[in-house]
Structure formats: structure tokens, C-alpha cells
Amino acid sequence: MIYKDLAKLELPPILKPGSEAKDWPQRRKELIELFSREEYGFSPPPPSFTGSKVLKSETGNSWAGKAEYREVELTVPTPKGDFSFPVDFVLPYSENVPLIIYLSFTKYPIGKYCPIEELIDGGYALATFCYDDVTEDKEDDFSSGLAAMFERRNDGTDWGKISMWAWAASRVMDYALTLDSIDKKRIFCAGHSRLGKTALWCGAQDERFAAAVSNNSGCSGAAVTREKTGERVEHITKSFPYWFCVNYKKYIGKEETMPFDQHQLVALLAPRPVYVASASEDLWAGPESEFLSCLAADEVYKLLGLEGLSHDGRYPEPGEFLHGGNIGYHLRSGPHFLSRYDWQMFMRFMDKHLL
């Protein structure tokens, strides 16, 4: 398969004409403002502090004696009082360990979606929290969890739940930075599907993250929206309007008028590494459109004097991976899922680029 001609898509530019490397920080701010206003909603600033309480700690035989398991309750101040949510940590008995902050669909996801022992054996620590413990993934008029702790302005730009889950991941980062065994320069966030969208948005806003990983994030995540097959703005805002700000609905059936597109989101990680993973049968997410975002984001890395997407001018075949540059990509055979193969590819890429 040959990928589409990017020029024919007429994507909104990432860079302004005549941009130099020194202009990128300001341009990043402008793009984050744009995505906040038109797609995800504006997040509140970081809290004055993130408190923590260890609820449970298991050592000794935990994970075959290779790691400590720790359950921590994080607490942050909000306009309507303190808000708390639990986070699970698996901390190998090593020093200077890289940490994956994994946004999860379930609490402490042993097995499905997260092969914890394999991550430990790969030399990684893990922090994971269930997104429903932050605010529930349903249309509830923003009445659950963190969503209920902030007044809404109702001006079309209030934060949606993707922004809320991303904000919570940054609070996990607050705590992670207090852990002596963690390498503070090698902490990255990862997520699958809707939480892959969240991981990208989290890493884009919070530059403390060394990298972000998006698995099968599709529409409103890593996939370019223009000429995308499968899920589009109309579908996602009808099924999950609460993920986004109200303004995003303006682009139903009018994606070509959007002043932004998802290749800019991928580019917002620059100069840090970013990873996008697709699945060949995940046509609703649009694997080719996810690859196109990586291809388009490459220009920012080049501007910064870095190799972005290392490719040979064709769309990858299932089972192929592109790890040469700071934009990583692989196409796994099969459907929408986060597999052990995906995790192995993530670690392989991070081992290379976050040394």
C-alpha cells in the first residue's frame, strides 16, 4: 500500500512560514491553545501541591521478589475541596529506573492490556490508575469524580474528560518525581484507544514527560482527520461528547475547515520522542491516517535538527516497525487491542531513545 499524498490533504500547517528552531516553543504554546479551545477544552493549572498517602505496600515475594507493589492515594486541592484517587505502583528493586505512567481501563490491570512482569523484566517501573477513578467514562453532566470539583463556564471551551484524565496523569507525575529509585528524565505516559488520545494530550501539555505512547488512538487521537475512513468527528462526538469541549462539534461534516488536525498533536511532543502504534484490522481507528500524522509531524523534528520518522517512502506492512527516528511507529497485524507485542515494541523504542 502506498500512503496518500500529504500535499493533497491540505493539512493545517504545523509551522509558520520561515520558522526557525528558536520559534518552536512559542508555536507549541499557540497550538496547545488551539487544541484546548477547539477540541479538548482548557485544563486548570497544576494544583499548589499533590499530597500522597501509601495505602498498601507489598515487598519480599511480590512479583517473584523483583519489585515492590505499592498502592498510593493522591490528593489534590480543587475549588470544591480536596479530590483523591488511587494509583498502583510496581517499583523494581533497582536504581535509576524508567517509569511508565499507564492510563488504564481497569484497576491494577494484571494480564489484559498490561503484562506487568514483562515490564519489570524489561527494566521498567509502572504506575497505573483506572480512569473511572478520576471521572467516570459516561455522559453524567460532569457530575462524577474530578469533573464535579470544578465550575463550568459553558462557553464551549470547558474541559472534557480526556483533559481530566490527562490532568490526573500529570498528578501521578508529581508523585513520581518524589521517588528516589525513578529516573526523573525517563518517565513517559502510555494509553490505548481513548486513553491513547489522552496520553498524547497529556504529553503534549506536560513537558516533564520524556515521551508519550499512543496505541490505536484513531480519531481525535493520532489519526489525521481529513479524508479519514472509519470513525470521524460526527461519530465520536455523538457517542462520546463528554470527552471533548463543546466547540469540537462545530466540525461535524466540516473537518476540512478545522484550523487544526491531529498531526499537530503528534508534533507537540517535539523534540521529545513520541510513539504511535496501529493495528492492520483496526479500520475504525484508521491505521493509515495514524501513520500520516507521523509522516506530517516529521517536519518539526527536522527543523529542530533531529530525525523524526525514519521510513523508506512506503506505508509499512503488518509486523514492520520504524524505530530509527524520534517518531516511532509500528503496524501490528490484527484488531483493536493493546497486546504484549505492542508493549515489547514500546520498550524496544524507549530503550533506544531514552538512554
Task: Please identify every residue annotated as catalytic.
Answer: 193, 336
Question: Hey, what amino acid is at 125?
Answer: A
Beta partners for residue 56, in sequence order: 71
Widest pairwise Cα distance in the chain? 59
Q: Quick one: CA dihedral 252, 256, 260, 262, positive or negative?
A: positive
> 94 and 112 in contact (C-beta within 8 Å)?
no
DSSP 283-339: TTT-HHHHHHHHHHHHHHHHHTTS--B---SSPPPTT-EE-SSSEEEEEESSSS---
Length of the chain: 355
6: three-class secondary structure by DSSP = helix
Show the cell assigned to 327. 517518531
Strand, coil or helix: 298? helix
Q: Give phi and psi for 159, each to the nearest 5.
A: -65, 140
Please state at what angle helix 194-205 crosses helix 24-35, rounded to 10 degrees. 140
Identity of residue 73: E
Q: At 181, give phi and psi (nearest 5°).
A: -80, -10
> What CA–CA distance (Å, rounded) separates 236 from 255?
13
Residue type, 194: R
Burial of 334-354, coded b for 16+ CB within 10 Å and e otherwise, reads: eebbbbebbbbbbbebbeebb
Alpha-helix runs per DSSP H in the chain: 6-9, 24-35, 116-121, 161-176, 194-205, 233-239, 262-267, 287-303, 340-353
CA distance 297 to 284: 22
